[in-house]
Amino acid sequence: RTAVNGDLHDVVAVQMLPPRPKSDGKEWDIPSPSSQPDSNSSSLFCVLRAVVEGAFVHLLNFVQPLHEVALKEQIPRFEVALDKLSELVVSSGNMLHERSFFMSLIHATLKHKSKLQHGTRDLIVDCWLKWFRVGEGKNGGGGRESSMAAPVHECFILLLNEWASLGNVLLPRDKLVSLSEDAAKAAEESEKICRGDDNDDNNKEESSSSFFTNAWVKDESNFQPIKLQYERMLKSLPATNAEQWKQTLEIDDDHIQALKDEIQKKEAEREEKKKRAREKEKERSERKKKKARKSQRTEVDL
């Protein structure tokens, strides 16, 4: 009864493990790089973040029952630390491209196999979904950056697939579907923020479909690894569940065909506009030539 998943496990573990203080962002309030005279201050924060990432992975490498409680206590603290340090790294300012850390985190998490407690699983998921938020651009240029085609998106779906392969105990089918939908919606939201308000005329002019649907249909090279992970997930689902998931995210056959038709229509309209513009330019050129010839004849008459 005191083993992992036993009804007395949490009670015994809490008695054996001293209580931890609640996570507080103030302990990671470090002066920003702009206020530091040293030009290498941003590099220091980058190193600090790497150290914290390594400590996070090291913590997850423990698989003893007692450390399950430590995970629940410490994961929120690591989340706060990574969040604060990421804000201070000028070269990125976000967690979107920490692929090495994500892969290490996945391998460390999988060591628990199906014995990972659902509470710990949910903490990791909540922390990961927060990393989907909009970044400030990995080159420090000040522009906003979406998580739609970022490694944080690909690695999260990879983690879900690996968890699902361990059986329904760790990640039931319904939970797999809902979390994958949450990931797609988080990426969609970040894309909307980067492109501007939902009612932006420029966005509407491009397509009325969601950004996730557009990314799925266009299948550009930076989105292909993410699409492969989603397709792997869909293969593990029954046909009815997979079709329902596609309909929810608007990537079923009907939505895709409608988007392709819309893209073709938009392309035809753009070509028509270009054609009319060329014709108008040709007419203006002809008028200029006629005016020039008339001017020449007038000079000759004079």
Residue type, 21: P
Cα 211 from chain centroid? 12
**Crossing angle of helices 253-301 and 211-218, rounded to 10°:** 80
Question: 19 with 69: CB under 8 angstroms?
Answer: no
Within a 10 A sphere around the Cβ of 65, how many other Cβ atoms? 18
Measured between alpha carbons, how far is 115 from 3 in angstroms, rounded to an integer? 11
CA atoms within 13 A on the CB side of 122: 6
Q: What is the C-alpha to C-alpha distance for residues 233 and 245, in angstroms, rounded to an integer?
A: 11
Average pLDDT over residues 177-181: 95
**pLDDT of the residue at 106:** 94
Token couple for 154: 């690909």
Task: From 127, 118, 47, select the one nearest 79 (Cα to Cα).
Answer: 127
Q: What is the pLDDT of residues 115-139, one digit of tens each?
A: 888 888 999 999 999 999 876 554 4
CA–CA distance, 117 with 68 (Å, rounded to integer): 7
Rank 14-28, 62-76, 220-234 by mean pLDDT and report only the highest: 220-234
For residues 213 and 249, the answer to whether their CB atoms sit within 8 Å is yes
pLDDT confidence of residue 199: 46
